[in-house]
Structure 1
Amino acid sequence: MMPQPTGRLVRKDDGVYVVLDRIFKAPIEDVWSYFTRSPRLAEWVGEYTGLPSTGAVRFRMTAEGDDAPWENVSILECVAPHKFAADVGPAGDSWRMYWHLTESSGHTTLTFAQRLRSLTEEADVGVGWDYYLDRLIAARAGRPMPDWNDYHPAMLEHYQNLCRELDKDIRVEHATLHAVEQERNGTAG
């Protein structure tokens, strides 16, 4: 069975995020360890070096290949085993991401998000995280890793449509606010 896109777009005060959820039949601490323990992180996406307690580490996405560049990570929030937020990459051009974990009835729900810098240029971010989070599921289950070619370009249209629709909605909101402001200031027409 071909994987299906699972992401959605969420507007927050600091921008638009692509948000994806996964549910694991596992304790919260186990799922948390796949994000915070470098050997487990390496099983599905990458590795880090440094001491997270300092508020900064270096990370590279080894799933992208052995020559993947190291990125600086500024840890903004870490409440183990429930919340993590960070900026990844150089200041001014970083990616904001977070994950939240909740546990109930022997299941842990992961909500993962990355802020988009552009609705018109970053639709593929959702495709990438669908792929990586499915790699996480495969790593935990000891199954073979999914094939990128099953995700891209097959899922790209889903995320492009989400981005186009939200971009259109935002433009309409801005135009409406501008019209209301002009009317209020007596400059309409």
Structure 2
Amino acid sequence: MMPQPTGRLVRKDDGVYLVLDRMFRAPIEEVWTYFSRSPRLAEWLGEYTGSGSTGAVKLRMTADGDDAEWQDVTVMECAAPHRLHADIGAAGSSHRMFVHLTEATGRTTVTVGRRLRSLTEEADAGPRWDYYLDRLVAAHDHKPAPEWSSYGPVMMDHYKSLCRELDRDLRTDAAAARAGRA
């Protein structure tokens, strides 16, 4: 069965976020280790060095290939095992990210958000994060990782459509606001 796109776009005070969820039959502390322990993170996304407690970390997203470059990570908030907020990448071109975990009735929901810098240029973030999070599910469930070819080309139209629709709505809202001030 082909994976389906699961992301949605959410408007927040500081911009538009791509937001995706995954659910696990596991306690929150177990799922948190896939974000907080480098060996577990390496099973699905990449490896890191440094200490989140200092707010400075380096991340290499090996899910993108073994030649992936190290990126700066600035941890802005870490409230284990519930919240992680960070900027990933070089200053001026970083991506704001958040991870929220909640647990109820023996299940943990992971919500990941990535702020988009441009609706017209970053629709490819959707397929990538569906792929990364499905890799997380596979790592947790001890199953083979999915193949990228089932994500990028197949899901791109869905995410481009979401971005076009929201971009149109934002332009309409901005025009209405300008007209209201005139």
Quickly name the TM-score band, shorter chain normalised.
over 0.9
Unmatched segments (≥5 aa) in structure 2: none
TM-score between the two structures when normalised by the length of structure 2? 0.99
Deviations along 1:15-39, one digit per CA (max 9) or x if unpaired, are: 0000000000000001100011000
Task: Give the distance between the partners of 1:117 and 1:26, measured in 2 at CA.
Answer: 34
Task: Give the distance between the partners of 1:65 and 1:149, measured in 2 at CA.
Answer: 14
Deviations along 1:155-179, one digit per CA (max 9) or x if unpaired, are: 1111101100000000001111111
Please give the secondary structure, in 2, of the residue aligned with 1:154.
helix
TM-score between the two structures when normalised by the length of structure 1? 0.95
Which residue does 1:178 correspond to in 2? 178
Task: Give the distance between the partners of 2:117 and 2:85, measured in 1 at CA.
Answer: 16
Structure 1 residue 142, shift from structure 2 partner: 1.0
Task: Give the distance between the partners of 1:19 and 1:66, measured in 2 at CA.
Answer: 26
| Equivalent residue letter for 2:10 | V
| Equivalent residue letter for 2:55 | G
Task: Give the distance between the partners of 1:147 and 1:41, measured in 2 at CA.
Answer: 18
| Equivalent residue letter for 1:145 | A
- Matched residues, percent identical? 65
Which residue does 2:117 correspond to in 1? 117
Structure 1 residue 64, shift from structure 2 partner: 1.3
Q: How many residues align?
A: 182
Q: What does residue range 67-106 of structure 1 map to in structure 2 within 5 Å? A: 67-106=67-106
Aligned alpha-carbon RMSD (Å)? 0.6
**Where do 4+ consecutive residues of structure 1 move more than 4 Å?**
none
Deviations along 1:31-52, one digit per CA (max 9) or x if unpaired, are: 1000110000000010000111
* 1:147 corresponds to 2:142: no
Task: Give the distance between the partners of 1:65 and 1:21, measured in 2 at CA.
Answer: 24
Structure 1 residue 55, shift from structure 2 partner: 0.8
Which residue does 1:15 correspond to in 2? 15
Unmatched segments (≥5 aa) in structure 1: 183-189
Task: Give the distance between the partners of 2:66 and 2:124, measured in 1 at CA.
Answer: 22
Structure 1 residue 91, shift from structure 2 partner: 1.1
Structure 1 residue 57, shift from structure 2 partner: 0.5
Please give the secondary structure, in 2, of the residue aligned with 1:5.
coil
| Equivalent residue letter for 1:17 | Y
Which of 1 and 2 has greater Rg? 1
Task: Give the distance between the partners of 1:62 and 1:126, measured in 2 at CA.
Answer: 18
Please give the secondary structure, in 2, of the residue aligned with 1:2.
coil
